[in-house]
Structure 1
């Protein structure tokens, strides 16, 4: 397994990490679908064991992934392996329980304790503020940051994290004419207040290219000395060509993809057509496209690690095996060129459902 040095945490982790959202199964939070259909807990746990066998040391979950089910599955694995060899991250910020807000102090602490109980551990390597909603006028921001700082001081949390925008350049924040100026400025404001050690960002073949004079999230992280975890590197399997545009998948209401336009026939047709040049060059099999997508994402930064979703041993095995054989610098240049239709296609089909995830 390739290793990456995760700045902020200052530890080496496996280049491919286990993204455990998918194994949580169906769930909803205050009426919002947040789950995944088709999850067999026994298969999911077998996949976690397989990940460990393959050398995966990074495991990412959250309190709302299956409303605790994901954490509990991961906790079963942690009970069987050397906890010190695993880097475990969880998140807080979407589940309020009966509190006024998820980041209200006592609620945050309750969720931290519940996560540790579910995972069977007395500390987290990384604890993420999962949401950027801190209440009216950021009422709960200072309280949440203060609690995370205390958890770090007590070594119950080794590093803190936050999410970055899916598209970001630092220069946009000072350009009022840019359509994402406010989002960029908001991120920079929160970054300075939270002072995270690690950030997580969606990055894949559909992510935009940036101009040479723009400071993208990877250069920003390098300048600030923070670690980067990549999510949705396979585009929730959209980039593997596994969905049929003629027979779009139907998901139950508790599956977050239920009303997502990315899984409708028109979007799937657009993805299929945009993948054709990549398939022609590198192969059309899901394994071929996974190799392109995963290695392309990791190529964005020499120290970033990629979180991949899975629901069974075959899926996590396929992702890890996608690291070989390695692509060449010439391959990456060609992929950037061939992926242009994907970036254009995403821009044409942009929607709140896409931009908010």
Structure 2
């Protein structure tokens, strides 16, 4: 398994990582979820990503149990804060950072979070307050490094321009063959400032596996067929998008890869991407995705894939 650095940090993470949005502690049964975690370690995936809001703490609690007994230096653990944990608990204020950090540490059953991420930008809290509180979290030893997810470019620039505070080392945007907006501003800005990308939804919530036939209902065991996990997929399940994805299959076959491996290899072709987060619900998906780390693809095949997906158009996610 290849590893890459998070920006200018000392963290080296596997280029394929395991996420837990909508799955662990939620839509995936605990025994199967634990099998996915075991499969990740068996295939040298060392980066685990979660958030306090996933299942309102359920994903963190699951991972705290699943990782118990494993050597703490055998994996890199990331979580996030911002979204509501209750009617009164949300955002990136000093009080919330202190409260939510301690709660995440307890649920994860660890003394330190390797990467603590701001899940979105908090318009209601001064950036100075957020950065000062995050810096104290690093100085306390509870957090090693800082990241953000889906921040606007101007807010990223403002944070990076601040002095006397801990610096961000990672950005977590949605990025895939079906969603390329980070290429416009975020990736160039981050690359110029020592910040790496951790990509969420590189398989477009499973659509880029090719399992959704535009002429058939979603498979019964798929995310799109699940009431718990399909709520953010409407824009991906439009017919032109599904038809475009089907056209990618011959390109993946020519590269000797599954379509999922091909789509992950496309994301990893970008040097600023440190890791692609996969949300596997079955161990075999973990195994298939892990193989993308060593894929070598003719750039001409990627160019053809980009032309196909560009014709499908991009729509703002729900």
Alignment partner, residue 305 of structure 1: 275
The superposition leaves residues 36-76 of structure 1 with CA deviations (integer Å, 9 ceiling, x where unpaired) of x3x11110011111111211111110001111121122112
Matched, 1:87 2:70: no
- Indicate if the aligned counterparts of 2:197 and 2:272 stay in contact, CA closer than 8 A: no
Describe the SS at the equivalent of 2:114.
strand
Matched, 1:153 2:136: no
Describe the SS at the equivalent of 2:263.
helix
Alignment partner, residue 235 of structure 2: 262
Alignment partner, residue 57 of structure 1: 46
| Shift in alpha-carbon separation, 1:129–1:199, aligned structure 2, 3 A | same
The superposition leaves residues 75-109 of structure 1 with CA deviations (integer Å, 9 ceiling, x where unpaired) of 12332211022111100000253536432332322
Q: Kindly report the root-mean-square deviation, in angstroms, between the aligned alpha carbons of the 2 structures.
A: 2.7
Shift of 1:206: 1.8
Describe the SS at the equivalent of 1:76.
helix
Alignment partner, residue 179 of structure 2: 207
Compute the TM-score of the two structures, normalised by the length of structure 2: 0.86
The superposition leaves residues 102-129 of structure 1 with CA deviations (integer Å, 9 ceiling, x where unpaired) of 3233232221111111111111111001
- Indicate if the aligned counterparts of 1:233 and 1:293 stay in contact, CA closer than 8 A: yes
Shift of 1:258: 2.6
Match of 2:310 among 343, 350, 353: 343
- Indicate if the aligned counterparts of 1:13 and 1:87 stay in contact, CA closer than 8 A: yes
Shift of 1:308: 0.9
Alignment partner, residue 179 of structure 1: none
Compute the TM-score of the two structures, normalised by the length of structure 1: 0.78
* C-alpha distance in 2 between matches for 1:344 and 1:133: 35
* C-alpha distance in 1 between matches for 2:51 and 2:236: 24
Alignment partner, residue 188 of structure 1: 157
Shift of 1:320: 0.6
| Shift in alpha-carbon separation, 1:312–1:131, aligned structure 2, 3 A | same
Alignment partner, residue 217 of structure 1: 186
Shift of 1:250: 4.1
| Shift in alpha-carbon separation, 1:352–1:50, aligned structure 2, 3 A | closer
Shift of 1:25: 4.6
- Indicate if the aligned counterparts of 1:218 and 1:300 stay in contact, CA closer than 8 A: no
* C-alpha distance in 1 between matches for 2:134 and 2:64: 22
Matches within 5 A, 1:9-88: 9-26=9-26, 37=27, 39-88=28-77
Matches within 5 A, 1:88-167: 88-99=77-88, 101-135=90-124, 139-164=125-150
| Shift in alpha-carbon separation, 1:258–1:352, aligned structure 2, 3 A | closer
Question: What are the ranges of 5 or more consecutive residues in structure 2 without an aligned counterpart?
Answer: 219-223
* C-alpha distance in 1 between matches for 2:161 and 2:24: 32
Matches within 5 A, 1:315-354: 315-324=285-294, 326-328=295-297, 331-347=298-314, 350-351=315-316, 353=318
- Indicate if the aligned counterparts of 2:235 and 2:317 stay in contact, CA closer than 8 A: no
| Shift in alpha-carbon separation, 1:107–1:97, aligned structure 2, 3 A | farther
- Indicate if the aligned counterparts of 1:294 and 1:322 stay in contact, CA closer than 8 A: yes
